[in-house]
Amino acid sequence: MRARTVSGFCVPRYLSLKRGEVMGRAGPGKDYPARWVYHVQGLPVQVVAETTDWRRICDPDGGAVWVHRSMVDGRRTVMA
């Protein structure tokens, strides 16, 4: 089931990581501890929830963390 969110886009949806280093956090804010650092620009991810500034993403390995909205790109990519 797809639901509308604060951004106006539906979730779940697919995006990609914008930068070569993206910090994944335990919750939606910089006060939450880092759980993972992604080092792959363009990595395809699935947005499963969001707040105004944060997106909860699932990566291709099944990990789920929160990243700042500036760290994701609307371009969809694939892994080769």
Within 8 A by CB and 6+ apart from 33, the residues are 25, 26
Q: What's at 32, amino acid-wise?
A: Y
Q: Which of 45, 70, 49, 38 lies closest to 59, judged by CA?
A: 45
The fold of the 3-73 domain, in CATH, is SH3 type barrels. (2.30.30)
Q: Coil, strand or helix: which one is 75?
A: coil
pLDDT tens digits, one per residue of 4-14: 678 888 889 99
pTM of the model: 0.89
What is the spatial distance between Cα 63 and Cα 47, in angstroms, rounded to a whole number?
A: 12
What are the beta bridge partners of residue 44?
Answer: 16
pLDDT tens digits, one per residue of 31-51: 999 999 999 999 999 999 999
Domains of the chain, by residue range, sit at 3-73
